[in-house]
Amino acid sequence: MHILVTGGTGYIGSHTCVELLASGYRVTVIDNLSNSKQEALHRVSEITGCELDFVRTDLRDRAVLEALFRDRDFDAVVHFAGLKAVGESTQIPLEYYENNIGGTLTLCKAMTEARVKKIVFSSSATVYGDPASVPIREDFPICPTNPYGRSKRFIEEILQDLYRSDGAWNIVLLRYFNPVGAHRSGRIGEDPDGIPNNLLPFIAQVAIGKLPRLRVFGDDYATPDGTGVRDYIHVTDLARGHLKALEKLATDPGVVTYNLGTGRGYSVLEMVRAFEQTSGRSIPFEIVGRRLGDIAICYADPTLARTELDWTTDFGIEEMIRDTWRWQSRNPEGYE
């Protein structure tokens, strides 16, 4: 099976390439390197002992995409490529819609022409907005609160329309909760540009001394310790979910949607304490005001993925933090 992985040099994409190659898939990656480094793929090859093809291109370059689908015999596409920073999406919404939706349209047109009609799409728990209750099931209302989240919602709907127009399509929509951690080798991991937005990369940079202290965004939420609760999931467990999704595509499911989370939430302060224990470093922090757009609590009901994909998570919070710390301490400058 030959899989086209869009955005495959990125954080989740590179970890998914490891699992695909290790399971015997052929892999071609396309990426414009707008938020990643090609070095990640060299390390993917080093970890797996397998080669993969890389084509540097923007997903919106229709000519390149059409040529690619003409020249190669893809069986399915795993589609990660997109912009993903919630805050930035409120500043430059048009870029987000153009990149995320425009890229997906070009991809789907090229797939249609080449009659490759199997796709796994990276959606996000952010499509649920502020849920009325937790755990969150796939049939909960969809009401994203920012342009990034709306780009995910629109793409989900576009893919559903595509299936309605042509029942030969098979589509798996995966709604990720909070991906963290790194490959256990310490060779690939998350390499954010500049100051990280997300909690665990930020804590890791405090632990290594690159940042002075963590700012905890609010301790007055209706949660046990007042800080925000999230469903953190090890990126390797998440990557394995994509292999299960590809297996599902082979059963002709139409359009199906799954939460990929652990079903367990941790607060910001629980994450700080767990990181201190695992790394042996202290994490200075201060409580500041809430971050605009944040919600109190978000965790998945992963039952559907367990029953229909036969997917469960192997790693708990200790492994997530251990592997984040191994990656951060061995690669203080990321892939540089």
| Contact footprint for ligand UFG (CB under 6 A) | 84, 86, 124-126, 176-178, 197-199, 202, 214-217, 228, 230, 268, 291, 294
| Closer by beta carbon to ligand UFG, 173 or else 268 | 268
Indicate which of ligand UFG, ligand NAD, none lies near residue 7 (CB less than 5 to 8 Å, by partner kind). ligand NAD
Which residue pairs from 158-163 have beta carbons closer than 8 angstroms and sit at least 24 positions apart in sequence? 158/101, 158/104, 158/105, 158/108, 159/104, 159/108, 159/119, 159/121, 159/255, 160/255, 162/108, 163/254, 163/255
User: Omega of the bond prior to 135 within 30 degrees of 0, cis?
Assistant: yes
Structure tokens, 212:
């002075």
DSSP letter assigned to residue 300: B
Indicate which of ligand NAD, ligand UFG, none lies near residue 230 (CB less than 5 to 8 Å, by partner kind). ligand UFG
User: What is the number of other CB atoms lying within 10 angstroms of the CB of residue 130?
Assistant: 12
Least separation in angstroms between residue 235's CB and ligand UFG is: 13
Least separation in angstroms between residue 191's CB and ligand UFG is: 15
- Beta strands per DSSP E along the chain: 2-6, 26-31, 53-56, 76-79, 118-124, 170-176, 178-180, 214-217, 229-230, 232-234, 255-260, 266-267, 285-288, 297-298
Indicate which of ligand UFG, ligand NAD, none lies near residue 10 (CB less than 5 to 8 Å, by partner kind). ligand NAD
Indicate which of ligand UFG, ligand NAD, none lies near residue 301 (CB less than 5 to 8 Å, by partner kind). none
Least separation in angstroms between residue 64's CB and ligand NAD is: 10
| Closer by beta carbon to ligand NAD, 124 or else 145 | 124
List residues near ligand NAD by CB under 6 A.
7, 9-13, 31-36, 58-60, 80-84, 99, 103, 122, 124, 176, 178-179
> What's the CA gap between 180 and 217, in Å, rounded?
19
| Closer by beta carbon to ligand NAD, 12 or else 305 | 12
Indicate which of ligand UFG, ligand NAD, none lies near residue 35 (CB less than 5 to 8 Å, by partner kind). ligand NAD
Tally the residues of the chain: 336
Least separation in angstroms between residue 50's CB and ligand NAD is: 20
Indicate which of ligand UFG, ligand NAD, none lies near residue 262 (CB less than 5 to 8 Å, by partner kind). none
| Closer by beta carbon to ligand UFG, 109 or else 210 | 210
Least separation in angstroms between residue 37's CB and ligand NAD is: 9
Q: In this structure, what is the dihedral angle of CA atoms 29, 32, 34, 38, given to the nearest 10 degrees?
A: 50
| Closer by beta carbon to ligand UFG, 183 or else 230 | 230
Q: In this structure, what is the dihedral angle of CA atoms 86, 92, 97, 99, given to the nearest 10 degrees?
A: -90
The residues annotated as belonging to the active site are 148
Tokens 């809430």, residue located: 290
CA angle, corner 107, sides to 102 and 109, nearest 5?
95
What is the maximum alpha-carbon separation in the chain?
Answer: 56
| Closer by beta carbon to ligand NAD, 281 or else 294 | 294
DSSP letter assigned to residue 137: P
Least separation in angstroms between residue 135's CB and ligand UFG is: 13
